[in-house]
Structure 1
Amino acid sequence: MPHPPTLARAGLVALLATTLIAPSSTASAHRPATTPEGLAVLPAVQPVMTCADVTGLQLGKVTDATVTIASATVVTAGTPAPYCEVRGTIAPADTFVVRLPVNGWTQRYVQTGCGGLCGNANINYGQAGTCPVVTDGTVASATTDMGHQGRNDGSWAAGNPQAQIDFAYRGVHATAQVAKALIKAFYHRAPAYSYFTGCSDGGREALMEAQRYPDDFDGIAAGAPASNMAVQNTFHHAWNVLTNRAANGDSILLADRLPLIHTAVLAACDGLDGLTDGVLDDPRLCRFDPATLVCTTSSQTCLSPAEAGVVRRLHDGATDAQGRRLEPFISHEWGSELEWTLFIPTAQGQTVASEMFALSYLRYLADPNQPRPDYQLSDLRFTVESFWKTVMPSSSYQAALDPDLGAFQRSGGKLLLWHGWNDQHISPQSTLIYYDTMRRTMGDVDRFAKLYLFPGMAHCGGGAGPNTVDVLTPVMAWVESGRRPGRITAASATRTRPVYPYPTVARYDGTGSTDDAANFVAYTPRNQVRNDDDWVGRRLYSPGYQTWPRAVDGRLVL
């Protein structure tokens, strides 16, 4: 990992440990100056070359392939501060974009992740976009399209094993290497601190970095990670569609029924956390039964038995005919029903997003050497045999489930995991199981990893609860001054709420407005919910499963 300019990492860690354990006037005199937010006070560094000169740089062997710089242009419009935008390619086809502040760089590097199946290099700070050092334009930053510029339907992977490797893990790592080399050349100084932030597939990329390249980043914010990539984009999304399909091919449940279901869920469970506010603080405590909405006559105020069955199956998740779970239990949490339009159509015949997600993976990524462009969801068999045939071998290099982050911890890295409870794309259960497995594998992970669960937040933002939050500043403070993340405030247009590291939750203190975060305190439940990880693919969450495939003669070799 890059080091602060005046202290080796070992010395800095030792110093912070001393000052945290036994503060003294002598220790304080040697402690790096910090802002009230806990960020190191770093002098701004000016470029040593013009932006135009960057195009002539020869980066040499900074990564495992040839780097071509296509352009370097100063951007001023619509920015908090002007920057030099550098675009180029890491052979064979990783497009990258790097932003280098031209009026003073505060020695931090932030790399952002890419969502979906990527294919475009556009920096997106996401929930880290409210971080002050991001909003004032003083950080250097970069991202990549992860090795392809193809359609987001997966067809780019057909006959292109190197693109599959680059999407899985190589593209993000190689971009970090190139961006740091550009920073060093532009300022004659390496980053003091390097960070990665991403959500959805960007969250998977974040975990992949911690697992495979533990020295790339000092701090990582991994949001709603698509870490269980192969299961998520096959059985999970296919079940969303097929469990709602009648024998004649029609959809059983349509989106106009979702408000009715959501209202019933809130009536049954909203008050469990002590407030009736339209948000479930911990949906796992909700014991809603869709059968309570069933009536025998057609009515807009109730469900048919078939509709209620769909609701139950969507909540519980994919199973085989014997009830064995083909994804972790609770696929969609109670309270998230209004977000289910991702996979519940508004009218018969509509193709929903879940179908496109599943077909993209099943056709071109599930079997890396055998594209199946004519594959249909009806070809997928919900059996244990089909499960392993479908999700392996792609899980061995596309998934980011290795719970042993020992190398990342030993390098001084800090990890902030976060997920919205109302996530309609990726179940929070996957992140909870990963966190639980990490604790079982490593013991006490509190010194380097925290998990935050945001009530009411949908996928990477939005939703019924406060959903705008700064996840990067807490990571920076943890890395730069040793300040462990605690209370984080999430906001919406009308409400702020604190969120605490799992399993602690926020509780109203009984005074003032319930829309003001200042009126809430931390509460750790005495009897904590046990996450149910009894499912067919449980052993995917284990150390040592990851492979390093190679592209040989147009095939992916494991």
Structure 2
Amino acid sequence: MEKTTMLRRRAASWWALTTAFAAALPLSATAAPPIANLPAVPALMQCSLPAFQALNLSGVADDGGQVSFSSATLVDVSSSNPAAYCAVRGVISPGASSIVMNLPMATWTQRYVQNGCGGECGNDNLGAPTQSSGCVPVVKGQLVTATTNMGHTSAQGSAWIVNNPWAAIDFAYRGVHVTAQVAKAVIQQFYGQPATYSYFDGCSDGGREALMSAQRYPNDFNGITAGAPANNMDVQNTYHHANRLLTNQSTPGTIPLPARNTYLLLRGNLPYIHAKVVAACDALDGVSDGIIDDPRACKFDTNTLVCANNGNESGCLTQAQADAAFRIHDGAKSVAGHRLEPEIASEWGSELDWTLYMPDAQGGTASSENFVTSWLYKTYLNEPYLDEATSTPRTINDLTWKVPAYRKTVKSSQLYSATNPNLTPFAAAGGKLMLWHGWADQHISPQGTLQYWETMTSTTANSDDFARFYLFPGMGHCGSGLGPNTFDVLTPMMSWVETGTAPYALVANNATTGVSRPVYPYPTVARYVGSGSTNDAANFKPFTPKKKSGVKVTNAGDYLYSADFPQVHCTALGTQIACDTGD
């Protein structure tokens, strides 16, 4: 009880400090932030496979991993490529984590950016960092960038982890870490000097990888940007996705293939639901623009969707359909009614993207089904998560899915979840963290990121010195959506690390709708000044609510968001995985 009181006091103190911080800053704080003026360093090596195979990288990976290079190709300047670079590929043993690097030949300005990988990864396509629109070092080809497939390939399908413990370990945490170690060593030898600054940028599972790096390896990166993190991976790919699918079925239960359940809500119902939600909640932020600023304030009554209650409007729903809409919004609960994830799984305003867990037609397969079946089929993920004593069987096709209460011996979460809120070592190393999430995210609920933010800021002292959190109204998963969905998070991070200029407003745009808005560090939001176009970011100012939202993020898995919850380290013993338990 004493510890809980202390954490609450810290959270209240942080809220007050953030409010004062927002009020003290000028409205002009949306100008492009400065970054260090670092001279370009040319390559000292040739871009050739023999040159890379001759590199001495022995002992670089702290677990003894070895690097084998397979290609090194010079890519010249073109209409789509601003600067020549060396494209390098290799594999880091003992697992099969790839390392893919792009090393500028003459334009490198001493920065290294490692890109995260979304979904369950399995690919190593190296593109521009996520949400880096207009970032000068990106535009001019001045960065060394790298990524990894995290120990497996997409061609392996859902079987990539079966009897392959190194794939499990590499995906959990190792692949990103050893890639950083090897990439930095390659930079040292390719240019004759180390990277002055190192950054990690990722969204979705890339956001989980970002938080995992901050939690497990606080010295790997100077700055980390984590978007829409799937930090509670077990819950994300079981309760979260499966509940939204199953709650939409009229006859849940064990039904053998090829028969399928009948879905209550289909894609054709979503425009009607969305229109009613927007009509009820759009103007709560003072502007009627089709974007709900903070959907937690929307107390939408799904009974208003029912034909009997609204005069049989065109597109209206049955009571069963309206109830399904509420359950999809509300989130997963155990048989006893305990929340298995934070309140609100699907935010009001995101309805047009609920297609993720609805098939095209009756009898079809929704994407959410594939997420869950793929995750639960994996040997090293399924068994430790189930608790037979408190389970209730349901089904997704021929796979029996169990809805257990949480267990404090969840080995899978100890391996894959990036929920440890104690970032004191990361802060002590001088690291900076920028968290961001779209309020209309159809894949990963922003409530999970809110839970991490609240526990992290309550656990780690002086969190406002090294961390910021941004919530983008109307933005979907890592982008898309009706709200402002394109922005640059990388330049503000570089500015913070390199010049000490803490980030404030991020200006986000939507090229389709023409909307432009400033997005301020949470809990501050943008409010219309009362004149000028509501599509123009210049016509908004910061406003910090006096009270916190009444929506609670607490759930049966709160213990996962504790500095006392151990993150295990594992190794392979043949086809088995062996982990230290942290006990």
For normalisation by structure 2, the TM-score amounts to 0.86
Match for residue 283 of structure 1? 295
Code of the residue aligned with 1:256 in structure 2: it is: G
8 Å contact kept, 1:117–1:152: no
Distance 1:184 1:229 in 2: 35
- Aligned partner of 2:36 among 25, 33, 40: 40
Match for residue 9 of structure 1? none
The CA deviation string for residues 334-380 of structure 1, in whole angstroms up to 9 with x for no partner, is: 000001000022210111110000111111056367999x9857612
Match for residue 26 of structure 2? none
Code of the residue aligned with 1:254 in structure 2: it is: L
2:329 is equivalent to residue 311 of structure 1: no
Give runs of aligned pairs for residues 421-500 of structure 1, distance below 5 A: 421-493=439-511, 494-500=514-520
Distance 1:370 1:542 in 2: 20
Secondary structure, counterpart of 2:481 in structure 1:
coil
- Aligned partner of 1:262 among 274, 280, 283: 274
2:538 is equivalent to residue 540 of structure 1: no
- Aligned partner of 2:181 among 177, 180, 204: 177
Match for residue 85 of structure 1? 87
Distance 2:99 2:385 in 1: 27
Code of the residue aligned with 1:554 in structure 2: it is: T
Distance 1:531 1:62 in 2: 47
Match for residue 304 of structure 2? 292
Match for residue 256 of structure 2? none
Decide which moves more: 95-104 or 137-146.
95-104
2:420 is equivalent to residue 416 of structure 1: no
Match for residue 67 of structure 1? 67
Secondary structure, counterpart of 1:118 in structure 2:
coil
Decide which moves more: 170-179 or 290-299.
290-299
The CA deviation string for residues 160-182 of structure 1, in whole angstroms up to 9 with x for no partner, is: 01110000000000000111111
Distance 1:242 1:547, change over 3 A: same
Distance 1:150 1:37 in 2: 38
Q: How far off is 1:382 after superposition?
A: 2.5
The CA deviation string for residues 101-160 of structure 1, in whole angstroms up to 9 with x for no partner, is: 012210000000001111111123221253211121001010000011144743100000
Distance 1:240 1:342 in 2: 10
Distance 1:401 1:284 in 2: 23
Match for residue 502 of structure 1? 522
Match for residue 400 of structure 1? 418
8 Å contact kept, 2:82–2:140: yes
Secondary structure, counterpart of 1:506 in structure 2:
strand
Distance 1:540 1:517 in 2: 38
Distance 2:501 2:279 in 1: 40
Match for residue 102 of structure 1? 105
Match for residue 159 of structure 1? 163
2:381 is equivalent to residue 362 of structure 1: no
Distance 1:310 1:152 in 2: 35
Decide which moves more: 374-383 or 225-234.
374-383
Q: How far off is 1:36 after superposition?
A: 6.4
Decide which moves more: 199-208 or 132-141.
132-141
Code of the residue aligned with 1:344 in structure 2: it is: M
8 Å contact kept, 1:128–1:470: yes
Match for residue 320 of structure 1? 334
Distance 2:515 2:356 in 1: 26
Secondary structure, counterpart of 1:379 in structure 2:
strand
Secondary structure, counterpart of 2:523 in structure 1:
coil
Q: How far off is 1:398 after superposition?
A: 0.3
8 Å contact kept, 2:358–2:367: no
8 Å contact kept, 2:113–2:200: yes
Q: How far off is 1:442 after superposition?
A: 1.7
8 Å contact kept, 1:457–1:467: yes
2:149 is equivalent to residue 145 of structure 1: yes
Distance 1:192 1:407, change over 3 A: same
2:264 is equivalent to residue 252 of structure 1: yes
Match for residue 547 of structure 2? 527
Which runs of 5 or more structure 2 residues have no equivalent in the other structure? 1-30, 252-259, 387-394
Secondary structure, counterpart of 2:476 in structure 1:
coil
Distance 1:227 1:370, change over 3 A: closer
Secondary structure, counterpart of 2:577 in structure 1:
strand
8 Å contact kept, 2:267–2:359: yes
8 Å contact kept, 1:70–1:88: yes
Identity of aligned residues (%): 51
Distance 1:322 1:103 in 2: 63
Give runs of aligned pairs for residues 97-136 of structure 1, distance below 5 A: 97-124=100-127, 125-136=129-140
Q: How far off is 1:530 after superposition?
A: 4.2
Distance 2:352 2:483 in 1: 12
8 Å contact kept, 1:111–1:176: yes
8 Å contact kept, 1:84–1:102: yes
The CA deviation string for residues 367-424 of structure 1, in whole angstroms up to 9 with x for no partner, is: 367999x98576123242xx439x9221001010000000000000000000000000
Distance 1:322 1:381 in 2: 14
Code of the residue aligned with 1:138 in structure 2: it is: Q
Q: How far off is 1:215 after superposition?
A: 0.2
- Aligned partner of 1:203 among 204, 207, 230: 207
The CA deviation string for residues 169-198 of structure 1, in whole angstroms up to 9 with x for no partner, is: 000000001111111111001000000000
8 Å contact kept, 2:385–2:410: no
Code of the residue aligned with 1:59 in structure 2: it is: L
- Aligned partner of 2:54 among 45, 53, 56: 56
Distance 1:421 1:534 in 2: 18
Match for residue 549 of structure 1? 570
Secondary structure, counterpart of 1:126 in structure 2:
coil
Match for residue 401 of structure 2? 380
Secondary structure, counterpart of 1:157 in structure 2:
coil
2:367 is equivalent to residue 353 of structure 1: yes
Distance 1:186 1:411, change over 3 A: same
8 Å contact kept, 1:100–1:141: yes
8 Å contact kept, 2:526–2:542: yes
Distance 1:365 1:150 in 2: 17
8 Å contact kept, 1:62–1:181: yes
8 Å contact kept, 2:373–2:399: no
8 Å contact kept, 1:223–1:417: yes
Distance 1:240 1:231 in 2: 13
Distance 1:510 1:227, change over 3 A: same
Q: How far off is 1:65 after superposition?
A: 1.0
CA RMSD of aligned residues (A): 2.0
Distance 1:49 1:66, change over 3 A: same
Secondary structure, counterpart of 1:394 in structure 2:
helix
Secondary structure, counterpart of 1:322 in structure 2:
coil
